[in-house]
Amino acid sequence: MKKLLSIILTAVMLTSFNVYAQNEEYEQVVSKVKNVLDIGNYDNFEYTEYSNNGKLFLNLSWSNKDDNRSVDVKCDSNGNIYNYYLFNNDENKLQIYNENECKETADAFLKKVLGEKYNNIKYVDYYLDYDSYSYIYNIVSNDIPFSSDKININVNEYTNTVMNSSIPYFLFDIQTDNFSSAIGMEKANEILKNKFDMVYITSYDYENEKYNIIPAYAPEYYHIDAITGEKFDDYFFYFDYVAAGTEVSVNAKAMDTDQEENINLTEAEKNEISNLKSIIKPEDAVNKLNSLFGLNINVSNINYNYYKNKIENKYYYTLDINCNKDMDMYTSFDQEGRLLSYNNYIKKEYNENTDKKALQEKAEAIIKSNYPSLDFALRDVNNENNTFNFDVFRNGIKSIDEEITIQIDDNFQVTYADFRLNNYINYPKVNANITKDEAFNKGISEFPLEMTYFASLDNKSNIYNVYDIYNINVSYAIDAMTGDIISIDNGKPISKNNNKIKTYNDISDQWYADIATNLLYMGYRFEGDNFEGDKALTFMDFEKFYFKDVNIKYAINKDNYDKYSKDSEKPLTRYDFAEIFSDIIGYGKITDLDIYKPPYKDIENNGSVAILKGLGLLDDTDEFKGNDNITRAEAASIIYKYISVIE
């Protein structure tokens, strides 16, 4: 989600300088862009430039003082256009163009922008997005689609004008072969079948306040390198786990000293205090760190807090240690004193020639020391930074929602540890009604492998041949008890044709009807049977909104979570939602930078709004009206735009 960071920063940065200060080559690029896009005369022109993986990009901006019309273009030094954005308030709403007329405009635009590369795209589908038709195109080569980024282009239904477009960077550089050395579909299916094993899927039922645990068969991975037959990793991501909830600051001496019983305490209060007293003490936590990692921390050098996880009704304990320039770390424990996370910010030294076997043994020893009875196995290793990733097993079955990551530097110092475990869940033993072969046959018939290309994002524009379960919206599994095809994220039934997805009861012809329906098809939804698009969104509503790749509770930084969860039934303003959503998609840490142009005339400086506007997620209006409550439909529209661009 963070791959657009450099784009957004340069697209909304205030710093700029005039084109005539640069050489003649840039003048030729600007002339080419103006000619291709038919950009007329504007009062102002600005540009910024930046390099990414050895490639130069230009951000070109035209604007008028009086009518607020503007054009923003991102291109490379060859004049290849990647992003286009037009802001124009001149809409004649007396005439409406249909989807076919607007598609002709989209096609004509892409023919001009792409030139001969137009032959490398294939139309997929469209959806109505408020007042625009949004068209989606696959990139293809040798009649084989790319499983990575797609082309998106929006055409205003009132003006039949292209308002914005997004083209993946690799399109102008792709060079592909025709799978002449591919292993073949039969072999690919055999590989997938051998990696089709039973797993536990865990999801939390908010309504009944309990965990649901589903035994299921699932493929170990969904992409197979077409040449080598090995697992193909198209991306990696890591989770920073901090239990969220009510913060309780505790004085160490008070925790260690028996106090006289307070006669006004209720049984619930007494139980909670007793619960708190059972938590690992500061000196014990420090001693455990010293023993595990060979450290020499003094208890007087730490700051610590207790946090309660409201779902598990358990407390967690965090230590923030900054003793000197050589010791700066953050760590957390669960209520029983088991280590959950450890991050040491010391200078790290990595060398690919270090004895990886010895490092692995060190990582495994750390796990065994902390969790003596835990069943785990090495999954993969990142040799560049000595990161070891382990799967976790319960009753001999892999728990798909649990994993352990250990990072060790060349001096055999542990620099990072993350125990993503469900320590308070009892996993049932399984007597499956469905065999592995039956599960595989059902899964592969519904979601067959297809040949695809995958484009990397490095400066070489590498293209990989991949057998891919293509165009699947959610990672799937087969319920071992019922045989249903279910989402690996939440255990709910799914199908390729979406005929098992439950629709909303109150959706008909509202402006947001297509958005709500398309989100359902893509695996995103509000909880409940009704969409209630005109209702003000609350934080409680949003926290229960199902993102297939994001747990909102852990995606929002702790300060924001505490702020909004304290009064979770209060309607969110448009400012609130901008802050929360920019945090979720990975830009929370840069919203306070003083580098953004005001994107609306009623805003002076708001990084969250500027970033969302730069991503093309907000409407092209004069005012943002940030203090107004945001509706569920407006929030869904922003989410849908983001998903459509990123995926």
DSSP 234-298: -----------EEEE---HHHHHS--PPPTT--HHHHHHHHHHHTSPPHHHHHHHHHHHHT----
What is residue 300's predicted lDDT score, i.e. its pLDDT? 66
Nearest Cα to 223, choosing from 25, 24, 533, 466? 466
What is residue 500's predicted lDDT score, i.e. its pLDDT? 39
Backbone angles phi, psi at 419, to 5 degrees: -105, 95
What is residue 269's predicted lDDT score, i.e. its pLDDT? 58
Query: Torsion angle of alpha carbons 616, 619, 625, 631, nearest 10°?
Result: -100
pLDDT band at 364 (very low <50, low <70, confident <90, very high): very high
Highest mean pLDDT among 221-230, 525-534, 539-548: 525-534
In this predicted structure, the answer to whether residue 24 has a pLDDT above a threshold of 50 is no
pLDDT, tens digit, for every residue of 258-290?
A: 444 444 556 665 666 666 667 777 788 888 888
Taking only Cα atoms into account, the Rg of the chain, rounded to an integer number of angstroms, comes to 27
What is residue 480's predicted lDDT score, i.e. its pLDDT? 87
Residue 613 corresponds to which tokens in the numbers above? 């506007």
DSSP 607-625: HHHHHHHHTT-S---S---
What is residue 239's predicted lDDT score, i.e. its pLDDT? 25
End-to-end CA distance of the chain: 10
pLDDT band at 374 (very low <50, low <70, confident <90, very high): very high
What is residue 177's predicted lDDT score, i.e. its pLDDT? 63
DSSP 501-565: SPPPTT-SS-TTHHHHHHHHHHT-B-SSS---TTSBPBHHHHHTSB-SS--HHHHS-HHHHHHHH
Please tell me the least confidently modeled range out of 116-125, 193-202, 336-345, 546-555: 546-555
Kindly state the DSSP code that residue 203 receives in the 8-state scheme. Answer: E
Three-state DSSP at 190 gives helix
Kindly state the DSSP code that residue 335 receives in the 8-state scheme. Answer: T
What is residue 501's predicted lDDT score, i.e. its pLDDT? 43
| Dist CA 139 CA 128 (whole Å) | 22
What is residue 561's predicted lDDT score, i.e. its pLDDT? 79
Please tell me the least confidently modeled range out of 67-81, 402-416, 497-511: 497-511
* More confident call, 537 vs 266: 537
> What mean pLDDT comes out for the span 46-67?
75
What is residue 460's predicted lDDT score, i.e. its pLDDT? 45
Kindly state the DSSP code that residue 117 receives in the 8-state scheme. Answer: G
Crossing angle of helices 24-37/99-114, nearest 10°? Answer: 160
What is residue 550's predicted lDDT score, i.e. its pLDDT? 57
* Residue 147: partners with Cβ closer than 8 Å, 6 or more residues away: 223, 234, 452, 453, 454, 466, 468, 470
Average confidence score pLDDT of the chain? 76
pLDDT, tens digit, for every residue of 110-166?
A: 999 999 999 889 998 887 766 788 899 988 887 788 876 789 899 988 889 999 899
* Residue 205: partners with Cβ closer than 8 Å, 6 or more residues away: 211, 212
> What mean pLDDT comes out for the span 472-482?
75
Three-state DSSP at 485 gives strand
What is residue 534's predicted lDDT score, i.e. its pLDDT? 93
In this predicted structure, the answer to whether residue 405 has a pLDDT above a threshold of 90 is yes
What is residue 258's predicted lDDT score, i.e. its pLDDT? 41
* More confident call, 303 vs 565: 565
What Å distances lie between residue 304 and 84, 299, 332, 360, 559, CA to CA?
A: 49, 10, 9, 31, 16
pLDDT band at 536 (very low <50, low <70, confident <90, very high): very high
Is 321:327 a contact under the CB 8 Å cutoff? yes
Q: What percent of the chain has pLDDT over 70?
A: 73
* Residue 253: partners with Cβ closer than 8 Å, 6 or more residues away: none
What is residue 252's predicted lDDT score, i.e. its pLDDT? 32
pLDDT, tens digit, for every residue of 312-335?
A: 777 776 777 665 555 567 788 888
In this predicted structure, the answer to whether residue 577 has a pLDDT above a threshold of 90 is yes
Kindly state the DSSP code that residue 84 receives in the 8-state scheme. Answer: E
> What mean pLDDT comes out for the span 16-35?
60
In this predicted structure, the answer to whether residue 6 has a pLDDT above a threshold of 50 is no
What is residue 404's predicted lDDT score, i.e. its pLDDT? 94
Please tell me the least confidently modeled range out of 145-149, 508-512, 639-643: 145-149
What is residue 135's predicted lDDT score, i.e. its pLDDT? 92
| Dist CA 173 CA 452 (whole Å) | 17
Three-state DSSP at 349 gives coil
Residue 589 CB neighbour total at 10 angstroms: 10
Is 285:301 a contact under the CB 8 Å cutoff? no
> What mean pLDDT comes out for the span 393-410?
91
Kindly state the DSSP code that residue 434 receives in the 8-state scheme. Answer: S
What is residue 276's predicted lDDT score, i.e. its pLDDT? 64
Kindly state the DSSP code that residue 573 receives in the 8-state scheme. Answer: B
Three-state DSSP at 187 gives helix
> What mean pLDDT comes out for the span 365-387?
91
